[in-house]
Structure 1
């Protein structure tokens, strides 16, 4: 688990412990607008920041989110390693709520993939609920595909470990052969972005949201920097060219579209 050190502990924990709270069956989910994304677990400081963002958005619409920077490479054991880094103009806890709202349809499909949705939501199921700080959820969706004259929908099933305390989401396929993958796992890390630190915090760079609030007098906007890491290897013979080229291209394009969709959801929340 060299790229993702947190995965070993998570997988071992899943093997050793039975779920603390498990739903009896999956629930069919409906799309929610951005205004209904759950923010009940957010701290008072995050709620204050959200008000600050919305007030600022009315005066000067935010245009400083940088698009996902993409890097694709091969690991020493032949896996494809996909990395993406981008920003969202909202506080980290709010962005975490956006990331973990699995029942939301994509906002951006109208401009992506010739009006085909990036993903269709099928169901979600809580496998373990450790309260405010951590949940383990299995999510089922489907993704449209097209290759030469053929097209269809590929079922997607992923297990998510959502850690609010560390603002970290781990994900993996539940077993081999799901989504035609022998192996797929990844993580999405959210870190604070002290946007106005150069303006208000001239003495030193703040190390926490509390330091930032104090040195900016509560005026500084707190944003989010996100880093996605994902490794995967398709099942044979799909791991060989030309199939592997197509899978890499589609996976990269679709994943980038999903990350851009998170930015669009952020814009929706800022404008409410």
Structure 2
């Protein structure tokens, strides 16, 4: 990167893709690639608030801003590298969550869900805190209001009110939820607690996301304990997945007797399970291979089966599935059709 007498730029990239320790100040931002600069706009904006005289703050003299930008830039580079590792090797099998239900005295239930996702913790965290995650979680009918109460860069406290959909057997309904959310990117936790009292006296819980070093076997005999050690021994090509835990305590304002409490407990468990399954499906979509890997094999099979129909092009996916249904391949063909159409 140059001899010792030469001054290094504020931010420079090493051969393995890592960033050198940058100088603080606004000048460091100018050295960040355009792609990363765009992703940092949200972080950069809060440092340009005007002072009481109406003048913009001097970013050059703000070490906090420099640290924030450098941390966000390094995190973005690391996340991009981890996502590229998944694109290079997308092999992963999603499993249903493990659910444990307990009934503390005076509460409806305490839910503990554990599951894994084939994406790095930063990517999973981004899904959970996304203000527009209504498109991911089908049980969110509407986000009524959202207000950021505290913004410390990697940590925010947000007040959220939304309408949630619950379903159980043939019953369904809408429940208003008002919560304060404490989201911390440093330790990848999202804590939530009920605000205004309503149907529930207590509704609180926490998401926790921890890294899984999927390809750590290539590091043997070393056993990496940190992300830096893992990236070093895998040459930044090791995949990072996530171990996710959701703890949730629910206590209604009026605890009904059995069997009504049993039904309510079932509704709560099912609704939370739906939310987790939606999250798993979104991580698979972002990974880009949940349907494509199986779909590629099925397309090859369908094209082979359609050789006797020269008028059919393999580029027409709907026509290929019609031929698959006609051929009556295996007992699971209908399930596959409903999945891919």
Classify the TM-score, shorter chain. Answer: 0.7 to 0.9
Return the alpha-carbon distance in structure 2 between the equivalents of residues 64 and 191 of structure 1.
18
Is the 1:83–1:228 Cα contact (8 Å) retained in structure 2? yes
Q: Give the superposition deviation at 1:242.
A: 2.5
Structure-to-structure mapping, 1:20-31, within 5 angstroms: none
Return the alpha-carbon distance in structure 2 between the equivalents of residues 146 and 192 of structure 1.
32
CA deviations on 1:52-111 (whole Å, 9 max, x unpaired) are: 212323xxxx43222210000123554521000011111111111011113222447xxx
Helix, strand or coil: the match of 1:258? helix
What does residue 121 of structure 1 align with? 142
Identify which of structures 1 and 2 has the higher relative contact order when contacts are C-alpha pairs closer than 8 Å and 6+ apart.
1
Q: Compare CA radii of gyration and give the structure with the larger one.
A: 2
What does residue 140 of structure 1 align with? 161
What does residue 130 of structure 1 align with? 151
Return the alpha-carbon distance in structure 2 between the equivalents of residues 40 and 250 of structure 1.
42
What does residue 103 of structure 1 align with? 132
Relative distance call for 1:146 and 1:54 in structure 2 (3 A) is closer
What does residue 267 of structure 1 align with? 284
Is the 1:85–1:227 Cα contact (8 Å) retained in structure 2? yes
Return the alpha-carbon distance in structure 1 between the equivalents of residues 93 and 124 of structure 2.
16
The two structures have a TM-score, normalised by structure 2, of 0.58
Is the 1:126–1:135 Cα contact (8 Å) retained in structure 2? no
The two structures have a TM-score, normalised by structure 1, of 0.72
Return the alpha-carbon distance in structure 1 between the equivalents of residues 95 and 207 of structure 2.
17
More strand by share: 1
Q: Give the superposition deviation at 1:49.
A: 0.7
Aligned partner of 1:67 among 96, 117, 140: 96
Helix, strand or coil: the match of 2:96? coil
Return the alpha-carbon distance in structure 1 between the equivalents of residues 96 and 169 of structure 2.
29
Structure-to-structure mapping, 1:180-195, within 5 angstroms: 180-195=199-214
Helix, strand or coil: the match of 1:120? strand
Structure-to-structure mapping, 1:156-235, within 5 angstroms: 156-177=177-198, 180-198=199-217, 200-235=218-253
Q: Give the superposition deviation at 1:248.
A: 0.9
Q: Which runs of 5+ in 2 are unaligned?
A: 1-45, 47-71, 290-341
Relative distance call for 1:64 and 1:135 in structure 2 (3 A) is same
Return the alpha-carbon distance in structure 2 between the equivalents of residues 141 and 185 of structure 1.
15
Aligned partner of 1:83 among 91, 94, 112: 112
Aligned partner of 1:250 among 267, 283, 290: 267
CA deviations on 1:207-262 (whole Å, 9 max, x unpaired) are: 111010112222210111101111111121x4422222111111111111111111
Q: How many residues align?
A: 219
